[in-house]
Amino acid sequence: MSFKTLYKHTNDKSKDLFLGNIGKSCGKLSENLIISELIKYGDVENFEYGEGSHSFVSFKNIEDAIKLYEKYSSSNSKLFLGRRIKVSFSLICKSKIIDSKQWSICSSINTLHNFGLNIYNNILDDGEGEELLDWIDKYGIWEEGLSRRVQHYGFGFDYKNKIISPEWVRDIPIKIEIIINRLLLHNIVTSRPDQITINEYIAGQGIGPHIDSHHTIGNYVAVVSLGSGVGMDFYELQLSDSKSFKKQKKHSIYIPKNSVYTMSSNIRYCWQHGIKKRYTDNIDGNIIKRHRRVSLTLRKYIKGDLEKCSCNYHDFCDSRFPLLRQLPDRLI
């Protein structure tokens, strides 16, 4: 597993707990089952399901961690999901280890990195990716009004105007909050996203080139890919006159499964991004077959003014060019 949060033991009470005898090597307990038991004690911010014989949980409030500790720390405590466990207080270390060979910004995007595109491989391992995808399919709420299936959590999305809706649709599930906390912990995103769109792409589908709204979406867009990788195109735009622009240059990048890519600065505000409609991708001469891909797009809602957008990219702002918002069929 390339992503790793480091904990250390502490004698002081904290919101982070060590859970002994709860790990993947201890016998089959699904992560969903463990989390469903943990949230009985309070809001869970993060759960690290260990490969060995122990795991870690972080609660939002220290009082909730203390409740779990007091129930299971004594020698005559009750069983946790049918097993005896050891509980102790821990702290997340300030330092962290990332295996740069497995989880790094892809070398093939060095040029685009300078314009605001970062890709982090293996933000989820294969088991985590499969489990999250399974949860989305079993428990997520699919909407089928578009040409593809979507799910929305937090604030909604207005597809007609291509902006975040101020209406709160439904709470963000703990399974997704855990991924968000991981991205925040490692400074991959700069603020907590509150608008989540899950898109399902069957092999052969794509999405038209577009720029995410300037005045309702914060300074980054992050996307987690599950199930399959995909080739994505990024287009530099050139202002041709006061009312239009044209694509100047295309850059094609492969987005691996279980990765997250983030767009900020120029890539976020004045480049278009999209996915061509095809069944395979040609990566350095190798033909890679596409499979079903499910993406989680994470955005931060801002209450901007369409008529007076305060972004620094006025020439490419949707407040100036209404055509940027008119993409009625997001699939091509």
Alpha-carbon distance of 277 to 255, in angstroms, equals 15
Alpha-carbon distance of 206 to 233, in angstroms, equals 11
- % residues pLDDT > 70 (the chain): 84
Predicted local confidence at residue 305, as pLDDT: 67
The per-residue b/e assignment along 195-217, b for 16 or more CB within 10 angstroms, e otherwise, is bbbbbbbeeebbbbbbbbbbbbb
Q: Decide if 73 contacts 24 (C-beta within 8 A).
A: no
For the residues 236-265, what does the mean pLDDT come to?
A: 82
- % residues pLDDT > 90 (the chain): 41
Class of domain 3-96: alpha beta
Instruction: Write phi, then psi, for 111 (nearest 5 degrees).
Output: -65, -45
Alpha-carbon distance of 220 to 116, in angstroms, equals 9
Alpha-carbon distance of 178 to 160, in angstroms, equals 31
* CB-neighbour burial class of residue 294 (10 A; exposed 0-12, middle 13-18, buried 19+): buried
Alpha-carbon distance of 240 to 254, in angstroms, equals 29
Structure-token match 């009082």, residue found: 63
pTM for this model (two decimals): 0.72
Taking only the tens place, the pLDDT of each residue in 219-249 is 999 999 999 999 999 998 877 665 666 677 8
Predicted local confidence at residue 89, as pLDDT: 93
Determine the 3-state secondary structure of 62 from DSSP. helix
Q: Where are the domains of the chain?
A: 3-96, 107-325
For the residues 81-100, what does the mean pLDDT come to?
A: 70
Closest CA to 172 of 156, 187, 188: 156
Domains 3-96 and 107-325 share a fold: no
Predicted local confidence at residue 149, as pLDDT: 93
The helix (run of H) or strand (run of E) holding residue 296 is strand 293-301
Angle at 59 between CA 10 and CA 258, to 5 degrees: 105
Strand-pairing partners, residue 222, are: 262, 298
| Tokens at 142, concatenated | 């699919």
Predicted local confidence at residue 306, as pLDDT: 63
* CB-neighbour burial class of residue 289 (10 A; exposed 0-12, middle 13-18, buried 19+): exposed
Taking only the tens place, the pLDDT of each residue in 272-299 is 999 998 888 887 778 888 999 999 999 9
For the residues 314-326, what does the mean pLDDT come to?
A: 65
Closest CA to 205 of 224, 234, 230, 223: 230
Determine the 3-state secondary structure of 41 from DSSP. coil
Q: CATH code for 107-325?
A: 2.60.120.590
Alpha-carbon distance of 113 to 218, in angstroms, equals 19
Alpha-carbon distance of 176 to 265, in angstroms, equals 25
Q: Decide if 122 contacts 136 (C-beta within 8 A).
A: no
Which pLDDT band holds residue 161 (cuts at 50, 70, 90)? confident
Q: Please name the residues in contact with 287: beta carbons below 8 A apart, sequence gap of 6 or more.
A: 280, 281
Q: Please name the residues in contact with 228: beta carbons below 8 A apart, sequence gap of 6 or more.
A: 203, 257, 290, 291, 292, 293
